[in-house]
């Protein structure tokens, strides 16, 4: 059985999660569901990054111990993932003992290899990023990500010999042209590696909240060295000798943290002689009404606020239909409602409602018989379109092009709506053309079935509802090939018309 191991960044639990965190985690959920649909053995890892100065400072501000502080916030993440219908395999916390052991193992391996040496560091530090900056990287003296003042940090520190991995990294990039996606990001990172790599500080001794190094108790692990290792501890790399998931197939990250994943992480793995992940995909940045998402300026949207706008599936759909994965996007309530009304309620919802109503009215609520000879009505064209919609969806999902997949599905939905208008089943009913009428309704229902299958990973609740309305409940055991094949609906299957799928007023949503 093919396996698929996908990860999200582990988020800093210094505050409740917001739409940026939802985005990456939803992307991983969609991919995990897609690969499950294809019959693969999927492992989907997410979690929280709980050590470091940023967490220590946030805890101090609340007058709490760091562990107590993060323990209070973790349920917020878990609740949010549940509300958004995110079905992960494991939620890892970097304060877990097994993770701590894995971090120590990584330090130990590199130390013994001679890739870690002691030195003294003085540099410009941004606590928001938990990273040092060079003067030339700053924007008017401020961190380019957080736009806040950096501080001068001076400390005795252990260094990792990143510079020694330049050539091996270049070779890996040359041999694996899709190691980083989108392609523009691959080129950008390759260019920076070619420019040269600097050794970097991987320990701290100016504060306490972190993992003690195995070879020096006075120092704690650098939070990024600690955090990146979660991808190994998440699949019990240290204790599970028959490792079936590592190497990860895909690390999904925001563009802000690509450098850590595309350069530092592979070098750490090379140093520890562990195989590298298959691909790192960096997605773009969401703004909120064109402004940076920022708690201090009140520009955040939490999970309840997001769901209150138009429900979970509308939000899931909007985030992935609105922008190409990899590009930046702007979130607005109006934008979400516009897509809910146009795409989900009008195009998908009405199609489903019309097809089921007609099936009840003209076919006694049972899937009618499909007669091949009635293809003159355009059913052949629909069948062809269905086959290409499936192929396009598979191709796009392989390339992690969510909006491309959704566009393909929506072209098919539009075609089905045109088919209803063109064939006008109500006229066929009036003229008593029963066989033609049956074929048209069968084609509509089959088109809807296939649409629901392809939409499953994106809008799982709606997909399940539609399949349930078509009398198709237990679908797990059916292979993707069969589900995605045209012509699977059995004549005679009773349908169950339910409530409207995307009501404008959420309080009436009960189907
Ligand atoms: O960086 N738009 O954690 P973090 C899109 N702990 N995505 C966004 C976003 C936005 N406006 N804001 C946040 C860390 N994200 C480290 C990671 S991994 C070993 C350690 C998403 O809480 C995006 O995925 O700051 C980004 O990379 C991540 O949240 C940063 O989360």
For residue 261, indicate whether it is catalytic: no
Nearest CA to ligand 1 atom 23: 254
Pocket lining: 55 vs ligand 1, CB cutoff 6 Å: no
Closest CA to 217 of 97, 143, 107: 107
Q: What is the pLDDT of residue 373?
A: 74
pLDDT tens column, 343-361 = 999 999 999 999 999 999 9
Q: What is the pLDDT of residue 138?
A: 93
Q: Average pLDDT, stretch 2-17?
A: 96
Name the active-site residue from 118, 292, 427, 504. Answer: 292
Nearest CA to ligand 1 atom 27: 254
Pocket lining: 24 vs ligand 1, CB cutoff 6 Å: yes
How far lies 357's CA from each of 300, 350, 352, 354, 426, in Å?
Answer: 41, 10, 8, 5, 11
Angle CA(53)–CA(14)–CA(83) in degrees, nearest 5? 150
Q: Average pLDDT, stretch 3-27?
A: 97
DSSP bridge pairs for 283: 254
How far lies 84's CA from each of 80, 81, 118, in Å?
Answer: 6, 5, 45
Residue 296's pLDDT band (cuts 50, 70, 90): low
Ligand 1 pocket mutation pick from 7, 185, 256, 319 by most atoms within 8 angstroms of CB: 256
Rounded-to-integer distance, Cα 113 and Cα 116, Å:
8
Q: What is the pLDDT of residue 206?
A: 86
Q: Element (H or E) spanning 157, and its range?
A: strand 151-160
pLDDT tens column, 410-423 = 999 999 999 999 99
Q: What is the pLDDT of residue 300?
A: 78
Nearest CA to ligand 1 atom 13: 20
Q: Average pLDDT, stretch 397-402?
A: 98
Pocket lining: 253 vs ligand 1, CB cutoff 6 Å: yes
Name the active-site residue from 118, 154, 295, 430. Answer: 295
For residue 393, indicate whether it is catalytic: no
Question: Rounded to two decimals, what is the model's pTM?
Answer: 0.95
Pocket lining: 228 vs ligand 1, CB cutoff 6 Å: yes
- Report whether pLDDT(263) > 50: yes
Pocket lining: 303 vs ligand 1, CB cutoff 6 Å: no
Using a CB cutoff of 8 Å and minimum separation of 24, what contacts does 166-169 make?
166/193, 166/196, 166/197, 168/267, 168/270, 169/193, 169/197, 169/263, 169/266, 169/267, 169/270
Gap from CA of 421 to ligand 1 centroid (Å): 46
For residue 9, which atom of ligand 1 is closest to its CA? Answer: 18
Residue 502's pLDDT band (cuts 50, 70, 90): very high
Contacts of 270 (CB under 8 A, 6+ apart): 165, 168, 169, 276
Gap from CA of 153 to ligand 1 centroid (Å): 24
pLDDT tens column, 25-64 = 999 999 999 999 999 999 999 999 999 999 999 999 999 9
Q: What is the pLDDT of residue 165?
A: 98
For residue 292, indicate whether it is catalytic: yes
Gap from CA of 383 to ligand 1 centroid (Å): 42
Nearest CA to ligand 1 atom 19: 228
Q: What is the pLDDT of residue 458?
A: 98
Per DSSP (E only), the strands in 208-328 are: 212-213, 216-221, 250-254, 279-283, 286-288, 291-292
CATH architecture under which domain 333-483 falls: Orthogonal Bundle (1.10)
Q: What is the pLDDT of residue 510?
A: 40
For residue 18, indicate whether it is catalytic: yes
Closest CA to 81 of 36, 7, 17: 17
For residue 14, which atom of ligand 1 is closest to its CA? Answer: 22
Contacts of 146 (CB under 8 A, 6+ apart): 126, 128, 129
Nearest CA to ligand 1 atom 24: 254
pLDDT tens column, 67-115 = 999 999 999 999 999 999 999 999 999 999 999 999 999 999 999 999 9
Tell me the three state secondary structure of residue 141.
Answer: coil
For residue 219, indicate whether it is catalytic: no
- Report whether pLDDT(273) > 90: yes
More confident residue, 141 or 266: 266
Q: Are 145 and 138 in contact (CB under 8 A)?
A: no
Does 333-483 match 3-283 at the fold level? no
Q: What is the pLDDT of residue 509?
A: 47
Phi, psi (degrees; rounded to nearest 5) at 221: -65, 145
Closest CA to 4 of 27, 54, 38: 38
Q: Average pLDDT, stretch 253-276?
A: 98
Residue 209's pLDDT band (cuts 50, 70, 90): very high
- Report whether pLDDT(330) > 70: yes
Q: Over the Cα atoms of the chain, what is R_g?
A: 26
Four-residue CA torsion sign, 449, 454, 460, 461: negative
CATH number for the region 3-283 comes to 3.40.50.620
Q: Average pLDDT, stretch 255-263?
A: 97
Tell me the three state secondary structure of residue 330.
Answer: strand
- What are the extents of the domains in the chain? 3-283, 333-483
Contacts of 84 (CB under 8 A, 6+ apart): 22, 25, 26, 29, 303, 307, 312, 315, 316
Mean of the per-residue pLDDT values of the chain:
94
Candidate from 388-402, 439-453, 471-485 with smallest mean pLDDT: 471-485
Q: What is the pLDDT of residue 298?
A: 66
Q: What is the pLDDT of residue 395?
A: 98
Gap from CA of 294 to ligand 1 centroid (Å): 13
């Amino acid at each position: 059985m093919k396996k698929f191991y996908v990860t999200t960044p582990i988020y800093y639990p210094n505050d409740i999660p917001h739409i940026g965190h939802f985005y990456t985690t939803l992307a991983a959920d969609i991919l995990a569901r897609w690969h499950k649909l294809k019959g693969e053995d999927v492992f989907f890892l997410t979690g929280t990054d709980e050590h470091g100065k940023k967490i220590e400072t946030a805890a101090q501000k609340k007058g709490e111990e760091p562990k107590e502080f993060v323990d209070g916030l973790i349920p917020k993440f878990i609740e949010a993932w549940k509300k958004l219908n995110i079905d992960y395999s494991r939620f890892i916390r970097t304060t877990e003992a097994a993770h701590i052991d894995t971090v120590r193992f990584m330090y130990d391996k590199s130390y013994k290899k001679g890739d870690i040496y002691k030195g003294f560091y003085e540099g410009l530090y941004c606590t928001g990023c938990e990273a040092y900056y060079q003067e030339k990287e700053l924007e008017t003296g401020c961190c380019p990500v957080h736009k806040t003042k950096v501080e001068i940090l001076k400390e005795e520190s252990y260094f990792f010999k990143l510079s020694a991995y330049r050539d091996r990294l270049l070779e890996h990039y040359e041999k694996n042209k899709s190691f980083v996606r989108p392609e523009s990001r691959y080129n950008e990172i390759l260019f920076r590696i070619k420019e040269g790599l600097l050794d970097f500080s991987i320990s701290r001794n100016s504060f306490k909240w972190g993992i003690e190094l195995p070879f020096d108790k006075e120092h704690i692990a650098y939070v990024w060295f600690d955090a990146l290792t979660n991808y190994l501890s998440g699949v019990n790399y240290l204790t599970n000798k028959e490792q079936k998931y590592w190497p990860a197939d895909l690390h999904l990250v925001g563009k802000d943290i690509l450098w850590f994943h595309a350069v530092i992480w592979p070098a750490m793995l090379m140093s520890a002689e562990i195989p590298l992940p298959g691909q790192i995909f960096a997605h773009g940045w969401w703004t909120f009404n064109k402004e940076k998402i920022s708690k201090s300026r009140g520009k955040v949207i939490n999970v309840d606020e997001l769901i209150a706008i138009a429900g979970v599936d509308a939000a899931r759909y909007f985030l992935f239909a609105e922008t190409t994965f990899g590009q930046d996007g702007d979130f607005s309530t109006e934008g979400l409602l516009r897509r809910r009304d146009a795409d989900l309620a009008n195009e998908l919802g009405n199609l489903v409602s019309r097809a089921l109503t007609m099936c009840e009215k003209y076919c006694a609520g049972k899937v009618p018989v499909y007669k091949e000879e009635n293809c003159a009505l355009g059913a052949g064209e629909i069948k062809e379109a269905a086959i290409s919609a499936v192929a396009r969806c598979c191709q796009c999902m392989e390339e992690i092009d969510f909006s491309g997949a959704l566009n393909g599905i929506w072209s098919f939905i539009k075609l089905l709506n045109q088919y209803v208008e063109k064939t006008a089943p109500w006229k066929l009913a009036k003229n008593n053309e029963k066989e033609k009428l049956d074929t048209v309704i069968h084609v509509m229902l089959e088109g809807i079935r296939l649409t629901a299958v392809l939409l499953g990973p994106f809008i799982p609740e709606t997909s399940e509802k539609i399949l349930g309305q078509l009398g198709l409940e237990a679908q797990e055991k059916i292979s993707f090939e069969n589900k995605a094949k045209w012509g699977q609906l059995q004549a005679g299957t009773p349908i169950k018309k339910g409530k409207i799928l995307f009501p404008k007023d959420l309080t009436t949503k009960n189907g």
